[in-house]
């Protein structure tokens, strides 16, 4: 998601202005503690722009139920929902590795790479839009992208997803439990189940305990780094409970970005004003989710911090300032919910009847069409009876998502 994502990448964007003399933490001479050459622990009066993580990001329009969450958990880990039978949501957004795969760009079902970094799925449901260019409104809409993307999962359309799921008896039962009704196995219900599951992927961190009044939750270095984060200007975009994820920002706002090939939102909107604008990502778990930025080309967190200060704020950080900021960012590393991070038991494939017991089906008949929907794998995987995986992105089939789900065929689904 790849997926949903991501890898959550760093974008410490700001307004490029130094702290005003009236801001908390300034000295009697109007200098911030940063400018005066000294960094003190953050004052609690400076915490108003932040906020504690909620326990979940549940949706009123897609309320969770135990059956829906269990189903979403299974679907997230099921690689049978890919053309090769090898790619699941968890492949690019590993829940045991802080929701990422640690690669610059993820590898899809045929070995091809996407063109953007896969951010973490943890806390992604709390962001105001999904994907790096913000083209999807929520995690339910985003969940449909990867399975239909020709580079990622590579399935043809919604009907093929439904066909694969209907071929697995255990999913027929699970969908009926989660969505009682005559036609429970639908692509929309697939997305609702995955989305409801992802809304539970919240990672409370030491930073949240500190915001709640526990002064011992952070080290002195982290408290100093938090103050520096505010006084340097990072807070202008990285604020709120997620420290980001709520706005778009131009990459290279003060000084041109050194890797300008990706046009950002302009690629989606075709508006010149959106050139090099990206969604500001959350900084939650940032110390664990490298490599960084939309292209995954920066592997060191300290270097990512220095690049942001230089290109977004017009400031050159010292080694000690960089160290303090990185220390603070470490306090955002949270605890993944163990209830959901382990791989669940997936519904098994039906047992293939022995040849002697098989019923003859005439070619071209409705029964033959139904029987050809999937062939059963020996290792619990359903391998779709479809053409071989395309050799590369150029020869990939054009996916046809349902109406109101704009998923460009040539764009990776990583947020």
118 in any annotated domain: yes
Alpha carbon 92 to its chain centroid, in Å, reads 9
- Per-residue pLDDT, 48: 96
Q: What number of residues does the chain have?
A: 415
Global pTM?
Answer: 0.79
- Per-residue pLDDT, 351: 76
321 in any annotated domain: no
Question: Is 191 in a helix, a strand, or coil?
Answer: helix
Number of domains in the chain: 1
Question: Rounded CA gap, 289 and 349, in Å?
Answer: 34
Please give the structure tokens belonging to residue 27: 């000295």
Question: Rounded CA gap, 157 and 398, in Å?
Answer: 9
Question: Is 376 in a helix, a strand, or coil?
Answer: strand
154 in any annotated domain: yes
Question: Rounded CA gap, 403 and 137, in Å?
Answer: 14
37 in any annotated domain: no
**214-219: long-range contacts at Cβ-Cβ below 8 A with a sequence spacing of 24 or more?**
217/331, 218/331, 219/327
Q: What is the pLDDT of residues 323-360, one digit of tens each?
A: 999 999 999 999 999 999 999 999 999 877 666 544 44
Question: Rounded CA gap, 134 and 136, in Å?
Answer: 6
Nearest residue to 411 via CA among 403, 248, 396? 396
Query: Which residues pair with residue 157 across a beta bridge?
Result: 400
134 in any annotated domain: yes
- Per-residue pLDDT, 328: 98
401 in any annotated domain: no
Element (H, E) at 326: helix 319-330
- Per-residue pLDDT, 81: 97
113 in any annotated domain: yes
Catalytic site includes residue 35: no
| Separation in Å, CA 202 to CA 57, 96, 121, 177 | 8, 14, 9, 25
| Separation in Å, CA 322 to CA 19, 107, 222, 224, 327 | 18, 32, 12, 11, 9
In the set 20, 38, 140, 152, the catalytic residue is 152
- Per-residue pLDDT, 356: 53
Nearest residue to 8 via CA among 403, 393, 318, 333? 333
φ/ψ (deg, to 5) at 308: -65, -45
Question: Rounded CA gap, 88 and 91, in Å?
Answer: 5
Question: Is 277 in a helix, a strand, or coil?
Answer: strand
- Per-residue pLDDT, 181: 86
* Residue stretches of the chain with pLDDT short of 70: 1-37, 353-415
Question: Rounded CA gap, 363 and 108, in Å?
Answer: 33
**Domain that residue 151 falls in:** 1-16+55-204+236-298+327-391
224 in any annotated domain: no
DSSP state, 375? E
SS (H, E, C) 103-145: CCCCECCCCCECCCCCCCCCCHHHCCCECCCCCECCHHHHHHH
Q: What is the pLDDT of residues 278-306, one digit of tens each?
A: 999 999 999 999 999 999 999 999 999 99
- Per-residue pLDDT, 353: 64
Longest dimension (CA), the chain: 92
Question: Rounded CA gap, 285 and 120, in Å?
Answer: 8
Write the CATH number for 333.
Answer: 1.10.760.10
């Amino acid at each position: 998601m790849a997926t949903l994502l991501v890898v959550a990448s760093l974008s410490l964007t700001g307004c490029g202005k130094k702290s005003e003399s009236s801001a908390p933490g300034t000295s009697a001479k109007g200098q911030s503690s940063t400018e005066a050459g000294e960094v003190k622990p953050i004052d609690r009066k400076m915490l108003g722009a932040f906020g504690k993580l909620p326990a979940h990001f549940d949706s009123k329009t897609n309320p969770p139920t135990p059956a829906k969450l269990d189903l979403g958990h299974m679907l997230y880990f099921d690689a049978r929902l890919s053309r090769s039978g090898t790619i699941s949501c968890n492949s690019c957004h590993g829940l045991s590795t802080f929701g990422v795969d640690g690669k610059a760009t993820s590898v899809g079902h045929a070995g091809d790479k996407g063109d953007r970094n896969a951010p973490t799925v943890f806390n992604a449901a709390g962001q105001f839009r999904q994907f790096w260019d913000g083209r999807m409104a929520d995690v339910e809409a985003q969940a449909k992208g990867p399975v239909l993307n020709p580079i990622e999962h590579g399935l043809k359309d919604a009907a093929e997803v439904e066909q694969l799921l209907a071929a697995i008896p255990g999913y027929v039962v699970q969908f009926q439990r989660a969505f009682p009704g005559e036609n429970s196995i639908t692509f929309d219900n697939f997305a609702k189940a995955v989305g409801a599951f992802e809304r539970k992927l919240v990672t409370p961190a030491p930073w949240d305990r500190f915001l709640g009044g526990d002064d011992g939750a952070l080290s002195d270095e982290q408290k100093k780094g938090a103050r520096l984060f505010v006084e340097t200007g990072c807070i202008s975009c990285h604020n709120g409970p997620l420290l980001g994820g709520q706005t778009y920002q131009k990459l290279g706002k003060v000084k041109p970005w050194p890797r300008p090939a990706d046009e950002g939102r302009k690629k989606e909107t075709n508006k010149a004003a959106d050139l090099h604008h990206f969604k500001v990502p959350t900084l939650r778990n940032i110390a664990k989710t490298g490599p960084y930025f939309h292209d995954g080309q920066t592997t060191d967190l300290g270097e990512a911090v220095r690049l942001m200060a230089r290109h977004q704020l017009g400031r050159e950080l010292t080694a000690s300032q960089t160290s303090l900021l990185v220390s603070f960012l470490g306090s955002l590393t949270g605890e993944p919910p163990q209830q959901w991070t382990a791989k669940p038991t997936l519904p098994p494939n039906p047992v293939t009847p022995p040849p002697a017991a098989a019923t003859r089906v005439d070619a071209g008949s409705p029964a033959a069409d139904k029987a050809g929907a999937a062939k059963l794998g020996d290792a619990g995987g359903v391998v779709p009876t479809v053409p071989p995986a395309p050799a590369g992105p150029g020869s990939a089939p054009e996916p046809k998502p349902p109406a109101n789900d704009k998923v460009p065929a040539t764009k990776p689904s990583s947020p």
